[in-house]
Amino acid sequence: MRCIRCKAPANVEVRRHRSAFCSGCYPGWFRNQVQRAIESEGMFGRDDKVLVAISGGKDSLALWHALLQLGYQADGMYIRLGIGNYSQHSQSASERFAAKHGLALHQVDLKEEYGFVVPQLRNQREGKPCAACGTVKRYHFNKVAVDLGYDVVATGHNLDDEAATLFGNVIHWQTDFLGRQGPVLASTHPKLARKVKPLFRLAERDTAAYAVIERIDYILEECPMAVGAKSLEYKDLLNALEERQPGLKQRFLVGFLRGGRKALAGRQEPALIRECRECGQPTTGEVCSYCRMRQRKRRQVESRMAARGS
């Protein structure tokens, strides 16, 4: 196998593009894909300030690295979720990356600033805190971006993530979610930052290859709460199909973005956004989901204390 650019022996194969690259040419191809995604979806421009959601894993650090190499103004943001060793390791990897490249990394510490950690938010039925963790991340990434004057929040969601989410939404016919799924979530309120996913054209293994070649020091460890998640089962299924039909994941996602999503989006009323009665952040209800989640948590703690006292 030879590099399609310089004909040297290839190190990375991208089967869905019927391409292969040597380690000298591969990073340029990867960054071209990121640039194409940014331009074709109108994600942001050279003058925009980008806030990258950092987890310490390969996707978010590769995204931050690629954006800087492409000449964009990109700072990072990390949320200390309080998930034991995983959080400690991911925080260190994020801080090491920022220090090595002399970059700004904003941080929110849930325990210190808000008095809770993500494992306390376990859903009684599923035994997992992932839905609440998603609410926490969306809330704080948006709040920091708006408070500090960033134009856009960029996340490291890749082709595998997006295809698995699409698969899950189709399986359960979540038409509301389907209508909103895409690489760009526009801002519909002054307190809502635009959200973008510049890696949506790149598979997980493409990002891993980029991180290795560019010597990005990321954590291999996955969040322990992810074990048994449905999204991982969907990824396994799609990967098994991709093995036999290279390009299937991309065709599934791109086909949906070009056709299906538009049909659905046109049928949905745009949600009315107002400010949360408790915290002033944007929401579709009276009280935002973050404040409701914290109120639920407070009530649980109070009733536990009352039960102990009785």
148 binds, among Zn ion, ligand Q46, none (CB under 5 to 8 A by kind): none
Q: Is 291 in the site for Zn ion (CB under 5 A)?
A: yes
Q: Is 3 in the site for Zn ion (CB under 5 A)?
A: no
184 binds, among ligand Q46, Zn ion, none (CB under 5 to 8 A by kind): none
Q: Is 118 in the site for ligand Q46 (CB under 6 A)?
A: yes
Q: Is 225 in the site for ligand Q46 (CB under 6 A)?
A: yes
The Cα–Cα gap between 258 and 44 comes to 20
Q: Report the residue from 70, 103, 279, 293 that binds Zn ion according to the rule CB under 5 A.
A: 279
3 binds, among ligand Q46, Zn ion, none (CB under 5 to 8 A by kind): none
Q: Is 288 in the site for Zn ion (CB under 5 A)?
A: yes
- Strand residue runs (E) in 28-151: 49-54, 73-80, 105-109
* Least Cβ distance, residue 79 to ligand Q46 (angstroms): 9
Site string for Zn ion, 200-239 (x = CB under 5 A): ----------------------------------------
Q: Is 190 in the site for ligand Q46 (CB under 6 A)?
A: no
Instruction: State the Cα angle at 47 between 41 and 52, rounded to 5°.
Output: 65
Q: Which of 159, 179, 147, 149 is nearest to 266 (CA)?
A: 179
Q: Report the residue from 10, 22, 25, 130 that binds ligand Q46 according to the rule CB under 6 A.
A: 130
Q: Is 219 in the site for ligand Q46 (CB under 6 A)?
A: no
* Least Cβ distance, residue 289 to ligand Q46 (angstroms): 15
Q: What is the dihedral of CA 58, 202, 76, 290, to 10 degrees?
A: -100
N-to-C CA span, the chain: 73
Q: Which residues contact 78 (CB under 8 A, 6 or more apart)?
A: 54, 55, 56, 90, 91, 94, 95, 105, 106, 107, 108
Q: Is 275 in the site for Zn ion (CB under 5 A)?
A: no
| Structure-token pair, residue 80 | 């200390």
Q: Report the residue from 104, 226, 232, 240 that binds ligand Q46 according to the rule CB under 6 A.
A: 226
Q: Which helix (H) or strand (E) holds 13?
A: strand 12-14
Nearer to Zn ion among residue 203 and residue 276 (C-beta): 276
Q: Which helix (H) or strand (E) holds 12?
A: strand 12-14
Nearer to Zn ion among residue 138 and residue 205 (C-beta): 138
Cβ-defined contacts of 281-286 (< 8 Å, 24+):
281/139, 281/142, 281/143, 281/191, 282/142, 282/189, 282/191, 282/192
Residues making contact with ligand Q46 (CB under 6 A): 83, 118, 129-130, 133-134, 223, 225-226
